[in-house]
Structure formats: structure tokens, C-alpha cells
Structure 1
Amino acid sequence: MTLSFQFMYGQTLLKAFSSTCAVLMLSGCVLAPGSFIDPEDNAPELENQLKFYTISPETIAENQLTRPQQPALVENKQFEQQRLSYDYRVGRGDVLNITVWDHPELTIPAGSMRSPQDAGNWVHNDGSIFYPYIGKLKVEGLKVTEIRDLLAERLAKYIEKPQIDVTVAGFRSQRIYVTGEVQKPGVIPVTNVPTSLIEAINASGGLTEAANWEQVTLLRNGEEQKFSLRKLYQQGDTEQNILLQRNDVVHIARSDDNKVFVLGEVRQPKSYAMGRSGMSLAEALAEAGGLFEQTADASGVFVIRQAAKDSGRLADVYQLNAKNATALIMAEQFQLQQRDIIYVTAAPVARWNRVISQLLPSITGLYSIGRFQSDLK
């Protein structure tokens, strides 16, 4: 199954899910009246598949549902140590500039018509260079200081106390690849100056408007690492910035999946992009134009969230009673996550269990797609 087919398949199921939700929500509007969620009214499959919470200050605090506060900036000592100890190692294709002081015959002049790269010593495909008096010299994998000492040792047989300087005139052997939602995706050469994750993104022109700050993937030696630029830029989490190595692939995902679904008795039911700063429940409801006062049951504002993989559940369901004046404060504090489903019911809350029983197969399909695509990445 190709990735393009998987994407088209996922999009088709998402459209089917949205259509199913619309039909089921219309049917949910004519359910019998009631006032509260009745535990005895739960469908049997809901007890194992879902867990219900009431959105309250205690629930928000216990489950850390608010927007993370910016922590005090802490120096990333490991990062700084790696930066200080960084040293470039020469590879095949690099061009070395070798100067032997007081011996111009051993130094290739650059001249006005040739750049230092054109006039230097090219590292051949076997990892060696050719140098007068010495002949073939293996330099691949060595630091410039090690090459300098090696040249001085070999030339000492012909020149008394040779003074040698070695620099890299052309960095051509090692690359970092930046793909996805940056202004200039492409290749960044590895040089004698260490390159961090942020520096690589900036060198690629920065992020596009469609970039997902939460989905930065680093592929190194066949293993993936995930990073969040939001935590780095907005919360000062320096652990999200690392030094890159040769052949690293940095991919910035699109924000297509970084959205929430607002459905039910709101003025504009549809999906909404969360944006770089995230989105609270209050912001999502405001984006949707607010509740329909004539038909919405204000005590039945629900957030359906995919449960953790190891929880054994399908989803967690959070209920907000918007009839309470303090609900607006809690809605502003409640931070949404990617792919959350916000549903405002027209049916009294006691009948919500039956509505969600009908929605359960569609929710199962939606979250199964998400986990399937996540496993493929």
C-alpha cells in the first residue's frame, strides 16, 4: 500500500465519518428529554471504551489540561558541551587548502582567476590526497589538526621544522537534508561550524504558514526522533534543540492534521486549524460562532479525545456545563489537542450516552486511521 493510497483512503474515511456524524447528530436532536447523565443508561460497550470526566478546576489541574506555563529558562548543558567539543572531520569530495610557510613551491596559489576551492587539494574517492614529497596521503575521517600534524611529520624528512596550516576550502562531503514546510527545502552542507536544529530551519528560510510546530521529525541512522518547536520557541524548552549530524533528515510536517472538529448545535460546525499557539475550548466554540441558543443544550458541551494507546480505552470524554457562569473561565483554561472532537448536543444530557453509542463505530474508525498512519511514519 503506497503512502498516497493511504492518504486518499484516510481522507475518504474522514469524509464518511463527518457525514455519519451529521446524520447521527440530527437523529440525536429528537431523543427523549432528561437532565443529567445517568450511569444506569450507559450502553454496555461504553464502560470499557470510554471514560467520562466533568470539566472542573480540579479536573483541569489533575489532568494538566491547561496551556503549559513558560518554565524558567535552563541551560542545556549537554547541548553546549557538544557544541564546544564539535570538530569537523574531512570526507570524500572536500577540498583542502594547505599552506607551507616559506615554501611557496608547496603552496598552490589561488590567484585572481581561481577560488580557494579550485586551487585546493581535492579529497579523492578513496579518501586520500596527493601532496609533493609525500605522495598519497589518507585524510578521510581526520580533523584538520590531525592532517596538519601528519603532513608536518612526513615533510620533516625534507624540510627542517616545517610550519603548515590546513583549512577546508570546500565542504562537499557531508550534508543535512531539510524537507517539508520550510521556505527553501533542500540541502545544507555540514561545515566546521556546528549546525543546530533551529539553525538548519533558519538556513532553509524558516517555516511556512502551513507548518506544524508540533511535528518536527529527525531521521538519524534509521531511527526517528520527534521535536516540538512550540515548546522551544514559546516555552523555552532548550531540550528541543540539538546538534545535527551528517545525513540527518529534518522534516517539518504540514498542519493538515493539527485541527479540531466542532460539531453539533453550533453556528458553523466544521474542522478548525489550531494554529501555532494552540487552541482552547472557548476559542474553538467562538470560532464556530457560538452555540445555537434555541436548540443547544448548554450543559452538554463534550470534548472527545483519543485515549493513550496503553490505556485500553478508545477515548476520553470531557463534559462542560456551559450554563454555569464559571464555565467560560474553565473553557478558556481547557487546552485542546490535535484531532479533538467538540460536540454540542441538542438532546438533554441524559440521552447523550445513546448518541455517543451510535457515534462509537465512527469514532473507532477515525482514531484507528490516526493510529495506523502514526505507526506508518
Structure 2
Amino acid sequence: MDFSKKLLFSAVASLFLAGCTVVPGSHLSLPDNKQQDDNDAFSVSEQVNVYPLTPSVIRQFKRPEVLARTNPVLDAEISAYEYYIGPGDILNITIWDHPELTIPAGSYRSSSESGNWVHADGTIFYPYIGTVQVGGKTVTQVRDEISRRLAAFIESPQVDVNVAAFRSQKAYVTGEVNTPGQQPITNVPLTLLDAINRAGGLAKEADWRNVTLTRQGGEQPISLYALMQRGDLTQNRLLRPGDIIHVPRNDAQKVFVMGEVNAPQLLKIDRAGMTLTEALSSVGGINELEADATGVFVIRNVQKPTQSIHQGSLAQNSTQSSAQTNKVMADIYQLNIQDAAALVLGTEFELEPYDVVYVTAAPIARWNRVIRQLLPTITGFNQLTEGALRVRDW
């Protein structure tokens, strides 16, 4: 019996010595020499960068606050705006004291029905003067030309020209708005904000931080959050014919909360954004019995096409950073919440799409998992040994 106990003890001891290889589940361990200080951001690891979330580091990584601003460029464009006639438009031309040239006798049709339709080649036909090229011109230019040419038939003609129907130029609003579709470009300047409002506003699942404006094959990123929530008018644009405004779904606005939390799950970032503390709160907080409060990590893939938030005091390392861009796979941010007051730091750290929030297990929790794995083996061994001894005694 003494021999069997020694054999059992040897087996268990060998398993304990190899505990790192038999601990179930995942774990993230970062020794002190993996953490990078503020002065030497890329001297330690070629695969990951580790940043402890301290007040000074939080200030470095915090995004610049979006402030309300005016847009002098847009104001100047609106002040100088003129509508240029195009094919499909209908013009209403009035010659004062000459009703026979304005609306044919006996006609009770509207201006858009009885007006002069602009043909595909940009011309219209008008009595006495024949074909008039109006495409690409303003109503003022068209009025001046018609007046000049009618002067050969009518003494001092008084001419008025306006667009009865705007059909030649359109912008388009697509994606997560309540009424997507085309928006006519008229003689009243149409801005991006106007077009969104005319489309019924944003739908529930809209991602208003990553709107795109496509113009002549190029894309411009637009933040409706900055424009509509913060009053940053520099995000607004004067729309031109053929512009496409696309409001995407917020499907990509998600983070993953895993590890020793009470309810691991996928979370969607709402329109106001999401901080680390908000994410932990949404999953019921950390598991107080098994979590390592020093090991709350945010793992961020630096190779995905998102704008880096590492600016400010880290700018001096830009040369080293660009040289190692292909080597570094992820940035890891570590928050120590042994003192619960440190959660206030988490309220200042904003999460980005596809961040992974991981809370690692405490050493005692990992030890208990090893024990739970060994218990069936120990119990079975004891039963086998006791049975053998009973047979031998018999």
C-alpha cells in the first residue's frame, strides 16, 4: 500500500511540475520585460506592443475631442452657387407683352408641361430665333442670349427665364437611411446634411461615424457624429451632380469580450461610442472569484485598415514604427483594476471595432482547474488500488 501511495504521489507531482501545459482554457501572461515604457516604444517586442493603461498613457492615447467649427469653404461655395441647365430640364420662358410667345393660346397646362424641354444635345427650340444652346449655361446667360436674338424681331424684348422642372442632375443617398433614393440638384444649394434630412434621417442600424461620399470615382470619409452631434461643419459638403452618399450598417462596429467575465459576449458599439469600462459593465463585470484583476487586456489588431490613435508624444518614434509595421501584429493595453478606482481610467479609453477585451484567470483559478482535471484520475487510481488490495488480502 505504501508503494501505491508513492506511485500516486509521483504521478501527481509530475503533473504539477508540467502545470503550464495542462491548464485548461486560455491565458494571457505578460512578464514585466514585455511592457514598453514611454521612451522606448519599439525596443522590446517585434510582434506585439504592450501598453499599461496609466493616467499618462491614457492622455497620450485619448482621441482629440471633436469641437464645433464653422466651414468657410462651404459658405463661399454656397454664396457663389449657380445652377447650370442640363438635358431633361424644362425651362419656362416669358416674353412680356407677347403672350403668344409665352404660352400657346388655349393652353391650361402647367409650366412643367408647357415649358421648353432641353434636348439631349442641350438645345431648345424657340419661335423666331430657332435652336438655342442652353446646356451648361445659367438662366441668366440663357435670358441674355434670347433677348439679344429676339431684338431682331421685337423691339426691346423683356425676357424672363426660369427652370420649371429640375431633371438633369441628381445626387443619391443609399444605405441606412429611412428613405434612400435620389435627391434632385436644383437652384437651391443642396448640402450633405440637407440630403440626409430629406432622406428621412438615419435608420436605427446606421453607422454614422463612417459615412462615405463618392465623387468622380473617389471616396471621402464623413463623420455624421462630428457633424450632427458635435456641430463640426467642416464635415458638411456641397453636393454635386452624381455624388453618392452611403451610410453603412453598424455591423462592423463590434467588440469581443472574453475570458473571466460573468457573461462573455459580442457587443455592438453604439452611436455614442464605447469605453473599456462600459464594455466590462455590459457583460456583468469580471468574475470576482476567478479573474486576475491585474490582467484586463484590450487586444487591437494594428494591421487592419483603421486610423492609429498613437499620436502626441509617440510621434518621435514614427520612423521606428513604420519600419516595424509589417512585424507588429497587435497592440495590447493592460488595465490593472485591483483598486476598483482604476475603472475610471477605463472610462477614458475608447474601444475600436474588432477590439478584443480579455480578462485573464487568476493563478489560483488556473491551479484549481488543474486539480479538477486530476481528480477523476486520482479517484479512479484509488479505487483501482483499493480493489487490488482487497483481492490480495482475500
- AA in 2 matched with 1:37: P
1:239 aligns with 2:234: yes
For 1:225 and 1:214, the matched residues in 2 are separated by 12
1:76 aligns with 2:63: no
Aligned residue for 1:47, secondary structure, equals coil
Label 1:348 to 1:142 Cα distance change in 2 as closer, same or farther (>3 A). farther
For 1:53 and 1:282, the matched residues in 2 are separated by 17
Residue 63 of structure 1 and its aligned partner are, at CA, apart by 1.9
Aligned residue for 1:233, secondary structure, equals helix
Residue 348 of structure 1 and its aligned partner are, at CA, apart by 4.8
- Summarize deviations over 1:188-228 as a string: whole Å, max 9, x none: 11100111111111111111010001111111111111111
- Summarize deviations over 1:304-336 as a string: whole Å, max 9, x none: 112266534222110000112331110111111
Match of 2:221 among 213, 218, 226: 226
Instruction: Identify the residue that residue 339 of structure 2 maps to in structure 1.
Output: 324
Checking the alignment, whether the CA contact within 8 Å between 1:56 and 1:330 is kept in structure 2 is yes
For 1:322 and 1:25, the matched residues in 2 are separated by 24
- AA in 2 matched with 1:264: G
TM-score normalized by the length of structure 1: 0.79
Instruction: Identify the residue that residue 380 of structure 2 maps to in structure 1.
Output: none
Aligned residue for 1:268, secondary structure, equals coil
Instruction: Identify the residue that residue 59 of structure 1 maps to in structure 2.
Output: 57
Aligned residue for 1:212, secondary structure, equals coil
Match of 2:181 among 179, 186, 194: 186
The within-5 A match list for 1:1-377 is: 27-28=25-26, 37-39=31-33, 47-65=45-63, 68-71=64-67, 73-108=68-103, 113-307=108-302, 310=322, 311-312=325-326, 313-348=328-363
- AA in 1 matched with 2:156: K
Residue 184 of structure 1 and its aligned partner are, at CA, apart by 0.6
Which 5+ residue runs of structure 2 have no aligned equivalent? 1-21, 37-43, 306-321, 367-394
For 2:214 and 2:354, the matched residues in 1 are separated by 25
For 1:25 and 1:147, the matched residues in 2 are separated by 83
- AA in 1 matched with 2:120: N
TM-score normalized by the length of structure 2: 0.76
Greater shift after overlay, 167-176 or 111-120?
Answer: 111-120
For 2:274 and 2:101, the matched residues in 1 are separated by 65
Label 1:81 to 1:110 Cα distance change in 2 as closer, same or farther (>3 A). farther
Residue 38 of structure 1 and its aligned partner are, at CA, apart by 3.5
Which 5+ residue runs of structure 1 have no aligned equivalent? 1-23, 352-377
Aligned residue for 1:297, secondary structure, equals strand
Greater relative CO, 1 or 2 (CA 8 Å, sep 6+): 1
Aligned residue for 1:335, secondary structure, equals coil
For 2:236 and 2:149, the matched residues in 1 are separated by 42
- AA in 1 matched with 2:61: N
Aligned residue for 2:292, secondary structure, equals coil
CA RMSD, 1 decimal: 2.5
Checking the alignment, whether the CA contact within 8 Å between 2:297 and 2:332 is kept in structure 1 is yes
Checking the alignment, whether the CA contact within 8 Å between 1:229 and 1:240 is kept in structure 2 is yes
Bigger radius of gyration among the two:
2
- Summarize deviations over 1:109-165 as a string: whole Å, max 9, x none: 698852211010000111100000110111100000000001011001111111111
- Summarize deviations over 1:274-317 as a string: whole Å, max 9, x none: 11000111110011111111111111000111226653422211
Checking the alignment, whether the CA contact within 8 Å between 1:219 and 1:250 is kept in structure 2 is yes
Aligned residue for 2:291, secondary structure, equals coil
For 1:325 and 1:151, the matched residues in 2 are separated by 79
